[in-house]
Amino acid sequence: MERGESIAVYRYLKSFLLVIVTIALLIGCYSHISSNAIFGNSTLSTSPLPVVTKVVKHALGETRIPIKPQRIIVLNDIALLDPVLSLGIKPIGTVSYFPQYDFLFRGVSNDEAAGIEIIGNGNQPNLEKVIKLKPDLILMREYQKSLYKQLSAIAPTVMVDLPGLNYSFKENLRFIAQVLGEGEKAEQVIAQYYERVKKLQNLIGESLKKIEVSVIYIFGDNLISTYSDNETYNQVFQDIGIRLIPILANQKQETVVSSIEVLNKYDADVLFVMNDAPKFTRAFFQNPLLTQLNSAQKNQIYEVQVNRWWTYGFFGINKLLDDLFQYLVQP
């Protein structure tokens, strides 16, 4: 090979290697940028579908989630589905505890949850259905923590811990809003709640200082149960300034089950009877013990529905307030 040809070949090889090195460097930079966009809080757009994320701390650790999740699954009705809907976000999937009743959820009506796929029972969600829905965020409750590893393998999973939030329905909403980046919306929802509370206080008027109420649940045939002040309706009573009768105000146990024979212990100016089983309700209201109650003589025993009163979300709370406007405001 002549000297001129050797130089030409050398120059060609040098240029070719330079191109290869340049391409390798560009690929390395691109991969680094893409990784930051997917796993950090970067806003760099390096692909058609960049995923911007953040880290959320919760009772089971830290989870990296999309800043704006689009496909949310919630594994509880009162403490998850209702609050998420209250923030103006519709999940793609949820669970039901009441498939045998006319209502599927507590707090949220069937119409309000239209279009949300039911993926099993709250105590045993169908993991195959969860996988098929391809969620980008799963919200679960503390009693479901045995499923955390399996759920986390499907999608980023955050546990919402009601005991850790002192069972406060307001703090529950605020925590979920922080996860979903909707803090401002949460405060608007809470402010609207307080506006309704203030209106109800004004309409009840002076009798607010005198009235005592009681809430019992028809637990079964000739059985009733009462609940501690963790329950949302008791928190709402406190916000309004409505007093519970002393035996309920001082109840330390979360649940007390009693025979209907001691019903007189739970008498009040106004008695709310909560139920979800019509056959037990009919028997209860036919029991002659009711006629001896002060609330019965005042004609102030009101039947209220569990799907309206057993709630930790503002869809349900507003239904509860609707009932209080109806039963406590004198025409």
Per-residue pLDDT, averaged over 34-62, amounts to 62
What one-letter code names the amino acid at 67? I
Segment (H or E) for 29: helix 3-39
Structure tokens that stand for 191 in this block: 């402010």
Same fold, 53-181 and 189-328: yes
Longest dimension (CA), the chain: 121
Out of 15-29, 69-83, 87-101, 215-229, give the one with best mean pLDDT. 69-83
Has domain 53-181 been given CATH number 3.40.50.2300?
no
Determine the pLDDT at residue 97.
Answer: 81
Residue 259 three-state SS: strand
All structural domains of the chain with their residue ranges: 1-51, 53-181, 189-328
Least confident of 30-44, 105-119, 241-255, 271-285: 30-44
Cα 185 to Cα 173: distance, rounded to the nearest angstrom: 10
Q: Give the closest residue to 317 by CA, choosing from 233, 240, 234, 241.
A: 233
Q: Give the closest residue to 33 by CA, choosing from 49, 48, 22, 44.
A: 44
In terms of DSSP H, where are the helices of 134-266? Answer: 148-154, 169-180, 183-204, 232-240, 246-249
Determine the pLDDT at residue 30.
Answer: 39
Structure tokens that stand for 164 in this block: 């850790």
Q: Which CATH architecture has domain 189-328?
A: 3-Layer(aba) Sandwich (3.40)
Instruction: Provide the whole-model pTM.
Output: 0.82
Q: What is the pLDDT of residues 236-287, one digit of tens each?
A: 999 999 999 999 999 989 999 999 999 999 999 999 999 877 778 888 888 9
Cα 210 to Cα 92: distance, rounded to the nearest angstrom: 46
